[in-house]
Amino acid sequence: MQWIYKMLISLLTVSLIGCAGNQNATDQNEAINQNVTHVNDRANKNNLKPMDVAQNNSGNVGRLTQNALEKDQGLSEEYHGHISNRPETKQKKEKPPAANNRFIQVQLLGINDLHGQINVSRKVGGKLAGRADYLGAYLKQREAENKNTLLVQAGDMVGASPPASALLQDEPTIEILNNLGFDIGTVGNHEFDEGVKELLRLINGGTHEETGNFGGANFPWVAANVINQKTGESILPPYKVLKVNGMEIGFIGVVTTETPTIVVPSGVEGLTFSNEVEAINRNVAELKKQGVRSIVVLAHNPGTSGLNGENPTGVLVDIANNVDDEVDIIFGGHNHAYMNATIDNKLVVQSYSYGTAFSDVDIEIDPKTKDIVTKRAEIITTFQEEIEPDPEIAKMVANYEATVEPIVNRVIGSTSVDLTALRNENGESILGDLIADAQRQALKTDIAFMNPGGIRADINPGDITWGEIYTVQPFNNDMVKMTMTGQQIREVLNQQWGTKTTMLQISGFSYTWDENLPAGQKVGNIQLPDGTQMDPNKNYTVAANIFLAGGGDGFTVFTKAQNKEIGPVDLDVLVDFIGAQPKPFTYEIDNRIQKIRY
Ligand SMILES: [Zn+2]
């Protein structure tokens, strides 16, 4: 594989390959939860039972067409936690109370979980939404309505991004945020995908061996609860005070304390993620001392609510209830959901994900008390048909796309069937089998495990480009070879039914499971390819990506494996495997996972 890379590098002025480094396979919890909804949605549309969808490959033209369209736009939506089936949120902000001329009108425009989707359109209720040039047009349009406008972001701007951003170290995404004039932001879990050094380089500027010198973000990033264990200091300023029309607004940033469990260990080495509420309250006290009374929290924490703010749920609700009442507004993120609710007199918002929506929060500040006296929000979907794309951003995006095009459009192989990641009733998918096979073969192990949340798109029949394979495995996870006992392998399998069900994709063995048995005992026979049973006391070599090997998705037994060795990057493994198949090739579900039927 390396030779192809070298050849390509010589074609390019900048070398782009292999630069995505050690990104991880996170927000998989988000993805898996969404996945369930989407499978059901699709099943309903096609009049099928949920989970049968993958087995119906015949005559399902509508589905394939839709898939092909999504693929043309970049990423298949099914595995990304994108909510496409959602109300068209066109609700108008409540009429402001009788205008008080004394009050200063300020507008806060917020996004969360952009994930570098600068050139990816997604469908919302059947209509296209998203792309940086459309999002940018909306933000600029609203900005023009009120000169007292601040643009804010609540984390996961980068990471799990398409090649046009990822192959350039996500610098394009930061450059676009710069161009749009963002004023402040915080970090999400994904900003840690490549470690804190790269995170700080993207923010503060610096040199990367693949992309050269980069100027960084031209707006501040705040994070109050990410602590460097050596210095005891937060890695970024905990808060910043911005002035709008003479009014001071304090912005405090926090990121989910779950970050260490959903990011590869190397990404968060030496960092402590401390309690969000304590971190916020400590800094609210500090801001109050300075006389700042208008306080906004940028929290990369999940939450959701009904359209009109009813039934708010999630960590954001707990945060709102427990932080100092001087906090006025919380911008959330992480679970890619809708939120527009008032909790304990704090306005809490989240605007889906991927640039398909943004939050418009209108506030009034009383110059006498310096406090926010009124606040209201609407969440706006960035439908493409309702606005002209911003020409400047469109040009930037086209340039990034042209830069990565030689890599992205290279044809690696060809398939005559839909290589789908949708799992059947047993828990197995075609693409899951294929990826696990690729990993087992590349690492020359007895068996392989692949986490389903790390399979991020389908591959449609026809030519398979590098870009398509990238959308399937966008994280550039290192592979790990390790040794486990048959007993440990059984324990890993039994961990699939935890607080949620996560069906690992496998290679090198087959097994049965019984849903009527209690958690921890569902796995029955584990059979090897020669027909013998796996020996609980024998050692087997195992391949898995570094996310799973580190105990990701709750598979803690992997942390007990021995002789861990880092191998090639998962993307390269899949590219090599597909490239070595006949053209075209076919793949089918191998019935490695068998649910016992009564
Ligand atoms: Zn997140």
User: DSSP secondary structure string, 24-63?
Assistant: ---SHHHHHHHHHHHHHHHHHHTT--TT-GGG--SS-HHH
Q: Domain residues of the chain, as ranges?
A: 104-400, 410-595
Distance between CA atoms of 142 and 390, rounded to whole angstroms?
Answer: 13
| Residue 98 or residue 497, greater confidence | 497
Percentage helix, strand, coil for the chain under 3-state DSSP, each rounded to 5 = 30, 25, 40
CA of 332 to the centre of ligand 1 (A): 10
Looking at residues 507-513, what average pLDDT do you find?
98
What is the value of pTM for the model shown? 0.75
The pLDDT, as a whole number, for residue 25 is 33
Count of Cβ atoms closer than 10 Å to residue 266 Cβ: 15
CA of 334 to the centre of ligand 1 (A): 4
Distance between CA atoms of 135 and 384, rounded to whole angstroms?
Answer: 9
Do domains 104-400 and 410-595 share one topology? The answer is no
Query: Is 104-400 assigned to CATH 1.10.760.10?
Result: no
Looking at residues 411-421, what average pLDDT do you find?
96
CA of 333 to the centre of ligand 1 (A): 7
Burial 179-208 (b: 16+ CB within 10 A, else e): ebebbbbbbbbbbbbbbbebbbbbbeeeeb
pLDDT band (50, 70, 90) for residue 500:
confident
CA of 580 to the centre of ligand 1 (A): 35
pLDDT band (50, 70, 90) for residue 44:
very low
pLDDT digits (tens, 9 = 90+) for 306-339: 999 999 999 999 999 999 999 999 999 999 999 9
Question: Residue with structure tokens 């503060």?
Answer: 204
Q: Decide if pLDDT at 19 tops 90.
A: no
pLDDT band (50, 70, 90) for residue 99:
low
> Which helix H or strand E contains 347, and what residues bound it?
strand 346-351
Looking at residues 564-588, what average pLDDT do you find?
95
**Considering the domain 410-595 in this protein, what is its CATH number?**
3.90.780.10
Its sign, for the CA torsion 453, 545, 542, 414, is positive
CA of 495 to the centre of ligand 1 (A): 24
CA of 518 to the centre of ligand 1 (A): 32
pLDDT digits (tens, 9 = 90+) for 263-276: 777 889 999 999 99
CA of 113 to the centre of ligand 1 (A): 7
CA of 188 to the centre of ligand 1 (A): 5
Phi and psi at residue 134, to the nearest 5°: -80, -45
Looking at residues 127-156, what average pLDDT do you find?
97
Count of Cβ atoms closer than 10 Å to residue 297 Cβ: 32
CA of 571 to the centre of ligand 1 (A): 22
- Of the candidates 26, 559, 456, the one whose C-alpha atom is nearest the C-alpha of residue 268 is 26
CA of 308 to the centre of ligand 1 (A): 24
CA of 258 to the centre of ligand 1 (A): 10
Q: What would you measure as the largest C-alpha separation in the chain, in angstroms?
A: 82
The pLDDT, as a whole number, for residue 16 is 31
CA of 337 to the centre of ligand 1 (A): 11
CA of 226 to the centre of ligand 1 (A): 15
CA of 172 to the centre of ligand 1 (A): 19
User: DSSP secondary structure string, 96-158?
Assistant: PSS--TTSEEEEEEEE---TT-TT-EEEETTEEEE-HHHHHHHHHHHHTT-SSEEEEE-S--S
The pLDDT, as a whole number, for residue 241 is 98
CA of 300 to the centre of ligand 1 (A): 6
Helix (H, G, I), strand (E, B) or coil at 398: helix
Q: Using a pLDDT cut of 70, give the percent of the chain over it.
A: 84
The pLDDT, as a whole number, for residue 94 is 57
Query: Tokens standing for 225?
Result: 């609860």
Distance between CA atoms of 167 and 155, rounded to whole angstroms?
Answer: 20
- Which residues keep their CB under 5 angstroms from ion ligand 1? 27, 156, 188-189, 334
pLDDT digits (tens, 9 = 90+) for 163-208: 999 999 999 999 999 999 999 999 999 999 899 999 999 999 999 9
Distance between CA atoms of 315 and 48, rounded to whole angstroms?
Answer: 35
CA of 384 to the centre of ligand 1 (A): 25
CA of 476 to the centre of ligand 1 (A): 18
